[in-house]
Structure 1
Amino acid sequence: MVNLDTIFGESAGKIWTTLYEEEVSPESRLKKKTKLKDHEFYGAIGWLARENKIRKDGKALTLGETNLTPEIGRNAGRVWKALNIWEELTDEDLVELTDLNKKDLFSALGWLAREDKVEFDPATEKWKLK
């Protein structure tokens, strides 16, 4: 299994540090500055949202009490439900079953990873509940 603390947690640290230094950053600029891959970046956003440390104001992200709980939390519930029913699913399976795009999917997975509820097996490329 992949250590999601390393993937999403360390990525969250990069985003937090960058936002601490810059205070506010458009999502595209923050993504470019942190040099994170899409799944790392959006998973980290979900991780930070679950920690109540990041908020979105228009297209900009900033540190502070999150306003992302309704969206990411709801999507995390959809992902959890799909995994609870199907047990093991790929990214593509989850996109299809939850009707989420990859950005929203990885934010939801980052949220669930912060709650220590999911794990990823690189051998099968599948997610499952712990």
Structure 2
Amino acid sequence: MPKAIQLTEDEKKHILELYKQNNPHREIAKKINRSKTVVTNLLKDPLKYGSRKQTGRRRKVDERTKRHILRAAIDIGASIGGSDWIFQQDNAPLHRAKVNVTWFKSKKINVLPWPSLSPYLNPIENLWEY
């Protein structure tokens, strides 16, 4: 959901005045053309309204660490097989979409050709038998 626009000082004063006149939250919301939730949040604690510093989940990895991990992964990937990779995916409609096929060709990524309806040729399916 998009973040809502904070109440202005005038709106806050107006809500508090209407509340002192014993108007219910829903009626106040209709009068100022805001949601009932916004009105309720303000009336719970007017001094704390809009003072939350952070929203959302805290990041576990900062940008510097993320760059370090990506560099290490790229170096390892290049040392494993060099640059002669063949990308393998099944014949799912999502994978066969023209947009995806065009993207792979534009990036010069080799994709393993895959005949349709051929589960016996799928190497991973053969592996499950053991």
| TM-score normalised per structure 1 | 0.29
Structure whose alpha-carbon radius of gyration is higher? 2
